[in-house]
Amino acid sequence: MFRSLKRSDRRNRAGFFAAAAVASLAGLIGLGGAEFRLPILKALFHLPSLKAVIFNKATSLVVVFFALFFRMHEIPLGMLADHAAIMLNLLGGSLVGAWVSAGIAMRISERTLDTVIMILLLAMAAVLLLDQTSFMQSEGLLFESLWARSLAGVTAGFFIGMVAAVLGVAGGELLIPTIVLLYGVDIKLAGSLSLAVSLPTMLVGFFRYSRGTAFEVLAQERELLVAMVVGSIIGAGIGAMLLGVVPAGMLTVSLSLLLIFAAVKIFRHKTA
């Protein structure tokens, strides 16, 4: 029993430091780090893919809530309320996408889910490598027509919701450039709007997953969950404090290449 307790303590400490390190590095380039946390859950803690996604989503929910709370001094709720139409437009698609995607994830095989996760992680790495900040220098909106912009918002929200549900991420890499390009808002405001859209989107996916047996991982791994949530919150704060100290461009490329390696190494199945 004593040996088992020591092993559990070591596992929880590993979870804390791994989550803190990921959140610190991701925070330096303005991310939550959930896409980097998923391979760790699979490789280091040996969670089956679906359970790793659910665990990742639970961690992301808490981190997103605190991130939104910490940003309120700069972007108050009143400012978000003024842009409620943007959030509702994106949520019109993202809530449906999250529900549909979570349902599919629970029905497909582990092997198929691994393939889907690998493809999505590679796509996320590609988004980072493209240096999405370059897309935000565009003057004006992509669509002048309100109807076209609304349709594009619902469509983009749907696909972002699907990605968020399958990976257990907030989807800021996709939401922020979408908000900036479609609605022409300031990037700092877009960051808070992204978090505000992510929270209900993730809750819908979370509720959908709660109907499956894999949801029991949260009870089975509650100590590890707490350790990684605390580590992620502390790490995000460290990353925010170090913002500007480390060249973001160099870090983005390094983390993107690391994500590509992790995605292929951990989620690729060898053919017989």
Q: What's the one-letter identity of residue 271?
A: T
Does the residue 187 lie in any domain? yes
Which residues, given as ranges, of the chain have pLDDT below 70?
A: 1-7, 29-30, 131-143, 243-249, 269-272
pLDDT at residue 1 in the model: 47
Neighbour tally for 176: CB within 10 Å = 24
Q: CA separation (Å) from 52 to 2, 41, 42, 49, 138?
A: 27, 6, 6, 5, 37
In terms of residue numbers, what domain contains 117?
2-267
Does the residue 43 lie in any domain? yes
pLDDT at residue 259 in the model: 87
Does the residue 70 lie in any domain? yes
Rg (CA), the chain: 18
Does the residue 206 lie in any domain? yes
Domains identified in the chain, total number = 1
Locus of tokens 């490789």 = 43
Does the residue 65 lie in any domain? yes
Does the residue 272 lie in any domain? no
Task: Give the whole-angstrom CA distance, residue 269 versus residue 272.
Answer: 9
Does the residue 6 lie in any domain? yes
Question: Which of 132, 120, 74 lies closest to 248, judged by CA?
Answer: 132
Does the residue 147 lie in any domain? yes
| Residue 120 neighbours by CB under 8 Å, 6+ apart | 163, 166, 167
Check if the beta carbon of residue 191 is closer than 8 Å to that of residue 173: no
| Residue 227 neighbours by CB under 8 Å, 6+ apart | 12, 13, 15, 16, 19
Q: First and final CA of the chain: distance in angstroms?
A: 41
Check if the beta carbon of residue 185 is closer than 8 Å to that of residue 197: no
pLDDT at residue 192 in the model: 86
Question: In this predicted model, what pLDDT tens digit does every residue of 201-233 receive, in sequence order?
Answer: 999 999 999 888 889 999 999 999 999 999 998
